[in-house]
Amino acid sequence: MTSAEVHLEQVSKVYDDSPVLQNIDLHLAPGEFTCLLGASGCGKSTLLNLVAGLELPTHGTVLAPGRPALMFQDHALLPWLTAGRNVELALRFAGVDRSAWRTRAAELPRMVHLSEAYDKRIHQLSGGMRQRVALARALAQESKVLLMDEPFAALDAITRDLLHGELTRIWEERKLTVLFVTHNVREAVRLGGRVILLSSRPGRIARSWEVDIPHPRRIEDADVTTLTREITASLHQEIIRHACT
Amino acid sequence: MPAPESTAFAAGLDTLEAQQVPAARRWPRRTAAQAAPPLLAVTLVLALWQAAYLLGFSDTLPAPAEVADDLGAAWRAGTLLPALGHSLARCLFGFMASAVIGILLGLLLARIGPLRTTVGPVLGALQSLPAAALVPVAVIALGESESAVYAVVLLGAVPSIAVGILSAVRQIPPQLLRAARTMGATGRATATHILLPAALPGCVVALKQGWTFGWRAPMTAELITSTQLPGIGRMLDEGRNQHDFSLVLAAVVLILALGTAIDVGVFGPLERRVLSHRGLAPDTMSA
C-alpha cells in the first residue's frame, strides 16, 4: 500500500444524491502506466479530478504526491501566449527559479519535437502540436504523476498514432506514473501496462487486465488486436447491462 | 532519444497541418489596403450627396462644398478648434472616469454574486436609456453645468462598460481556470496571468462601447441644455436656431469624422492586436 504512488481507498463521489463513483480501490505503482476505460457516465473524469485535487471525495481517501500534472482533451493552452511562454508560465507556477525558465522552457518543447514552435502562437499550431505543447507544459510541473483526460480523442488517426509513440517514449524516459482516461479500447491496450474497466452509474471497477505486450507496440499488432477484442466484449457487456435495468 | 524516422515523421506532419501564415505586406501597401475601403465609402456618400443636391431632392439641402465652406469659415474665425476641444475634453474626461468606475464595478459584479443579481438588472435598465432622457434628470439634479454633462456621460457609459466587463469575465473558458489550478496558480497569479488576459478582448469591446456612448452623450447635453456650453453640440444648436442647414451638417460631419477617427485610429488597432494574438482576427482565421 505504501509503495503506491497514487492511492485511492474506498473512494465514493456523490453529486446531488446521485452516486457517480462507488467504493473505488486503486493503487498505482511508481512508473506504472494505467488506462481507465468505460462508457459515458462511468465517472472517469471525476476520478481524475479527485486524483488531481480539483474535487474532494464524498467518502474514502485519495493520496497523491504533491500536485499531479493534468492534461485535458481540449489542450487548455493560453491563446495569448506563444508555445514557449505557455511552458514558461507552468514553470513559474511550479516555483522554478526565474533564471532557469528560458532554458527549461526551451528544453521541454525539444523533448516533444517542438523547438521550432517555441515562438509560435497556439492558433498557428495544428491539433497534434497543441497537445504536444500541453504535454510539455504538464512535464514542466516536474510531477511524477501525469493524469491525462482523453488527451488525443479529438485528433486524427495518424497524429494520434504519432503521439502514442511520443508519450510512450517520454513515459519510459521519465519513469512517470500515468493515469490515462480514454473511451478508446485500442488506445488503452496500445499504451497501458494495465487497463481498468469502470462500470457506469455509479462508476465501479468492473474488471482489470494486465497488458504483457512488450513495447514498442503498434496499434495494428496482433496481440493488441486480440486483447482489444476481449476488453471490447466486456465493455459491451457493461453497456448491455444498462439496457436491462 | 527518439528515432530519427519518428522525428522526421513528426516534422512532416507538423508542416502539413500547421497553419500557414501569409507573409506580412509592407507597410505602404498594408496602409493603402486598410485605408481604401473607408475612403471609397466617404467618396460614395459625397457623390450621392452631390447628386441629391444637383437633382434638387430638397430645397434646403446644401452642396457638400457649402458645408466645407462653413467649416473653413469657422476655422478662420477661430471658433472650430475651441468647440472641438471643449467637446473632446468632456468626452475624454467623462470616458476616463467611466472606464475606471466601470471596470471596477464590472469586476466586483463578476466576483460577488448577490451584487450581480441586485445591481446587474439596474445597470441593464440604465443601458437602455438614451442620453436625451438622462439630460433632464442630470440638469434638475445638478443644475445646468459641466457637472450635469459629466453625470450624463457617467450614467450612460459606466453601465455599458461594467456590463461588458462582467460578460467578458464570465466568458472565460472554465478549462483555463482548471488548468491554472492544476499548475498551482494562486488567486493573484490566476487573476494576473489567466483572468485578465483571457477577458481582455471583451474588455476592449466594453471600453469601445463606453467610448461610443461617451462621445455621443456630451453632444446631446450641449444641445439640450439651455446654458451656453461651448462645443460641437452648441454649433448644432446654433445651426438649428438659425435654420442654417449647412452649419448643422458641418457639425454632423465633424462629429462623424472625429468619432470615426478615434474608432479607426485607437480602438480598431487595439482590437485587431488583441484578437490577432488569440487567432481571432479575421486575417488570422482564413488560413
Number of Cα atoms under 13 Å in the Cβ half of residue B13? 23
Q: Of A144, A132, A130, whose CA–CA distance to A68 is shortest? A: A144
Share of residues in chain B with pLDDT > 70 (%): 92
Q: Are residues A148 and A137 in the same domain?
A: no
What pLDDT does residue B218 have? 82
- Across B22-51, average pLDDT: 82
Is A27 within a domain?
Answer: yes
Q: Are residues A147 and A239 in the same domain?
A: yes
Q: Are B231 and B218 in contact (CB under 8 A)?
A: yes
Best probe of the B interface among A74, A92, A93, by most B CBs < 10 A, is A93
Number of domains in chain A: 2
| Contact across the interface for B176 and A68, Cβ inside 8 Å | no
Predicted complex: ipTM over 0.95 = no
What pLDDT does residue B103 have? 94
What pLDDT does residue B147 have? 86
What pLDDT does residue A134 have? 93
Taking the Cβ of residue A89 and every Cβ of chain B, the question of whether any pair is shorter than 8 Å is answered with yes
- Across A187-200, average pLDDT: 93
What pLDDT does residue B227 have? 65
End position of a domain, from candidates A142, A161, A194: A142
| Contact across the interface for A129 and B7, Cβ inside 8 Å | no
pLDDT above 50: residue B287:
no
Question: Which superfamily, per CATH, for B77-281?
Answer: MetI-like (1.10.3720.10)
What pLDDT does residue B222 have? 80
pLDDT band, residue B24 (cuts 50/70/90): low
pLDDT tens string B190-229: 999 999 999 999 999 999 999 988 888 888 888 777 666 7
pLDDT tens string B258-276: 888 888 889 988 998 899 8
Taking the Cβ of residue A65 and every Cβ of chain B, the question of whether any pair is shorter than 8 Å is answered with no
Q: Are residues A160 and A121 in the same domain?
A: no
Q: What is the DSSP letter of B136?
A: H
Taking the Cβ of residue A66 and every Cβ of chain B, the question of whether any pair is shorter than 8 Å is answered with no
| Contact across the interface for A93 and B198, Cβ inside 8 Å | no
Nearest CA in chain A to B8: A113
B277 vs chain A: nearest CA distance in angstroms?
Answer: 5
**DSSP sequence for A180-213:** EEES-HHHHHHH-SEEEEEETTTBEEEEEEE--P
Q: Are residues A239 and A186 in the same domain?
A: yes
In A, which residues are within 8 Å of B13 by CB distance? 126, 128, 158-159, 162
Q: Is A234 exposed, middle or buried (0-12, 13-18, 19+ CB in 10 A)?
A: middle
Angle made by CA atoms A123, A149, A164, in degrees to the nearest 5: 75
Nearest CB to B175 within list A76, A117, A159: A76
| Contact across the interface for A124 and B278, Cβ inside 8 Å | no
CB pairs under 8 A between A and B: 100
Q: Are residues A127 and A149 in the same domain?
A: no
Distance CA B168, CA B218 (A): 27
| Contact across the interface for B182 and A70, Cβ inside 8 Å | yes
Q: Are residues A149 and A208 in the same domain?
A: yes
Q: Is B131 exposed, middle or buried (0-12, 13-18, 19+ CB in 10 A)?
A: buried
Is A44 within a domain?
Answer: yes
Q: Of B26, B204, B163, whose CA–CA distance to A80 is shortest? A: B204
pLDDT tens string B79-126: 888 888 888 898 899 999 999 999 999 999 998 999 999 998 999 888
Q: Are A119 and A147 in contact (CB under 8 A)?
A: no
| Contact across the interface for A69 and B2, Cβ inside 8 Å | no
pLDDT band, residue B21 (cuts 50/70/90): low
Distance CA B6, CA A159 (A): 12
Q: Are residues A122 and A224 in the same domain?
A: no
Amino acid B56 reads: G
- Beta bridge mates, A37: A182, A197
- Across A136-156, average pLDDT: 91
Q: Are A27 and A51 in contact (CB under 8 A)?
A: no
Q: Are residues A136 and A148 in the same domain?
A: no
Distance CA B108, CA B60 (A): 52
Q: Are residues A95 and A44 in the same domain?
A: no
C-alpha distances out from residue B270 to A103, A162, B12, B203, B282, Å: 32, 39, 36, 11, 14
Q: Are residues A131 and A159 in the same domain?
A: no
Tell me the three state secondary structure of residue A63: strand
pLDDT above 60: residue B254:
yes
Q: Of A229, A198, A114, whose CA–CA distance to A163 is shortest? A: A114
In B, which residues are within 8 Å of A128 by CB distance? 13-14, 17
| Contact across the interface for A128 and B181, Cβ inside 8 Å | no
Distance CA B187, CA A179 (A): 28
- Across A92-112, average pLDDT: 81
The sheet carrying A145-149 orders its strands as A69-71, A145-149, A177-182, A33-38, A194-199, A204-210
| Contact across the interface for A72 and B194, Cβ inside 8 Å | no
Q: Are residues A64 and A174 in the same domain?
A: yes
Taking the Cβ of residue A87 and every Cβ of chain B, the question of whether any pair is shorter than 8 Å is answered with no
- Across B56-71, average pLDDT: 88
Nearest CB to B175 within list A69, A74, A114: A74
Q: Are B186 and B157 in contact (CB under 8 A)?
A: no
Distance CA B145, CA B239 (A): 22
Backbone phi, then psi, for A126, in 5-degree steps?
-75, 170
C-alpha distances out from residue A78 to A1, A100, A133, A151, A167, Å: 38, 21, 11, 16, 22
| Contact across the interface for A89 and B183, Cβ inside 8 Å | yes
Mean pLDDT across chain A, nearest whole number? 89
Best probe of the B interface among A86, A126, A170, by most B CBs < 10 A, is A126
C-alpha distances out from residue B15 to A127, A135, A156, A157, Å: 12, 19, 15, 17
Is A73 within a domain?
Answer: no
Q: Are residues A167 and A227 in the same domain?
A: yes
| Contact across the interface for B17 and A69, Cβ inside 8 Å | no
Nearest CB to B284 within list A76, A117, A123: A123
What is the H or E stretch that residue A11 is in?
strand A6-15
| Contact across the interface for B182 and A124, Cβ inside 8 Å | no
What pLDDT does residue A245 have? 57
Domain enclosing residue A207, as ranges: 6-68+143-243
The interface residues of chain B toward chain A in range 195-254, judged by CB-CB distance below 8 A, are 197-198, 200
Distance CA B69, CA B60 (A): 16
